[in-house]
Amino acid sequence: MKVNKQHKNWWIDVLMLVGFLFCFYLNLTGVVGHEWLGVGVILLATVHFWLHLDWVKAVTQRLFKGTGARNCWYFLVDLLIMLGFVVIIETGLIISTWFNLNLTNYNAWLDIHTYASLITLGLIVVKVGIHWRWVVNVAGKIFGSHEKPILQRGLTPVPVTVPVKKEGLDRRHFLTMMGVVGLGSVLALTNVISEKSIRKVNAMNDATGTDVNNTQEAVAHVETTQETQAEAASTDIATENPETATPTPADTATAELTQEPTQEAPAAAVAMCSIRCPKGCSFPGRCRRYTDQNSNGLCDLGECM
């Protein structure tokens, strides 16, 4: 069965457009699916170019010899679409997972890839609008009804001219086709903008998290430095005053009582602790109220009851 050339071109163009639109839904296809789908679209675009190579050669030869303005316009749109696909291929390969290049400016290449895809999509919509009559006519032949009318015996069909408003039909077909293509393009654009916003928010969160980590590291470094300086100062004091360098058990206990409770102590234990005298006198106590009934070398009034 011989395949109609117009039908073949129509199906190739439709598959290429649908595949290109799905390339904008990275959250649906995934990175690997996006890459292979892009390869398929590029192959269909190559086949489309090959099938129209004769037209391209003819228009190119007559481009500077007074060819029609319409052909020049068609040629310009096709040329821009081809350049857009070239940029998409190059940037896509650079940021692809196949080569896994170590890029310091990955976001810049990704933006070029995205913007080139959006511009190319707009040019394809323009191209569809230019050739809308061919698209509608071939679609009607593919999906139209070709059934022969049933004639009654003994009657001869008489052709009857029925007036048809061609302008109304043309406008309706044009609006229907461009509405479908435009809706698909707008949805793809909206999805790209949404994904770009999400990537921007994630990048800001990553940057904020890095700043917080840097701040925590700086604070930890300052605290470590302060502790080191305090230990050095204690060592110097111990060296200068050897008599007071070694604290007695009573002094140690007194220091433990006089220091403020840390945040690590349970709140319940702190609430139950009641100190009647904040001085924390140790043996021998010189206060007239000094008592040491548990013989631990500390005044009972300064202990936690």
Give the count of beta carbons closer than 10 Å to the beta carbon of residue 43.
12
Average pLDDT of span 127-142: 92
**Domain regions of the chain by residue span:** 5-142+175-216, 265-305
pLDDT digits 0-9 by tens, 241-253: 555 445 555 555 5
Q: What is the pTM of this model?
A: 0.62
Report which of 74, 176, 76, 165 is spatially closest to residue 135, judged by C-alpha positions.
176
> Is the confidence at residue 229, as pLDDT, over 70?
no
Please tell me the distance from the alpha carbon of residue 29 to that of residue 153, in angstroms, as a whole number: 59
What percentage of the chain has pLDDT greater than the value 70?
A: 64
CB neighbour list of residue 301: distance below 8 Å, 6 or more residues apart: 275, 276, 277, 289, 290, 291
Which carries the bigger pLDDT value, residue 141 or residue 254? 141
Three-class SS string for 199-214? HHHHHHHHHHHHHHHH
Q: What residues pair up with 282 in beta bridges, in sequence order?
A: 298
Please tell me the distance from the alpha carbon of residue 138 to that of residue 90, in angstroms, as a whole number: 34
What local confidence, expressed as pLDDT, does residue 77 receive?
94
Please tell me the distance from the alpha carbon of residue 197 to that of residue 191, in angstroms, as a whole number: 10
Buried b (16+ CB within 10 A) or exposed e, 233-254: eeeeeeeeeeeeeeeeeeeebb
What local confidence, expressed as pLDDT, does residue 84 receive?
96
Helix axes 26-51, 53-61, angle to 10 degrees: 60
pLDDT digits 0-9 by tens, 154-203: 555 555 554 545 555 578 888 888 999 999 999 999 988 888 888 777 77
Report which of 86, 91, 92, 84 is spatially closest to residue 126, judged by C-alpha positions.
84
Residue 149 carries which DSSP code? Answer: P
Cβ 24 vs Cβ 192: under 8 Å: yes
End-to-end CA distance of the chain: 104
What local confidence, expressed as pLDDT, does residue 156 receive?
53
pLDDT digits 0-9 by tens, 28-49: 999 999 999 999 999 999 999 9
Report which of 293, 283, 275, 276 is spatially closest to residue 253, judged by C-alpha positions.
283
What local confidence, expressed as pLDDT, does residue 108 receive?
94
Report which of 171, 235, 169, 182 is spatially closest to residue 17, judged by C-alpha positions.
182
> Residue 282, SS3?
strand
> Is the confidence at residue 147, as pLDDT, over 50?
no
What local confidence, expressed as pLDDT, does residue 95 receive?
94
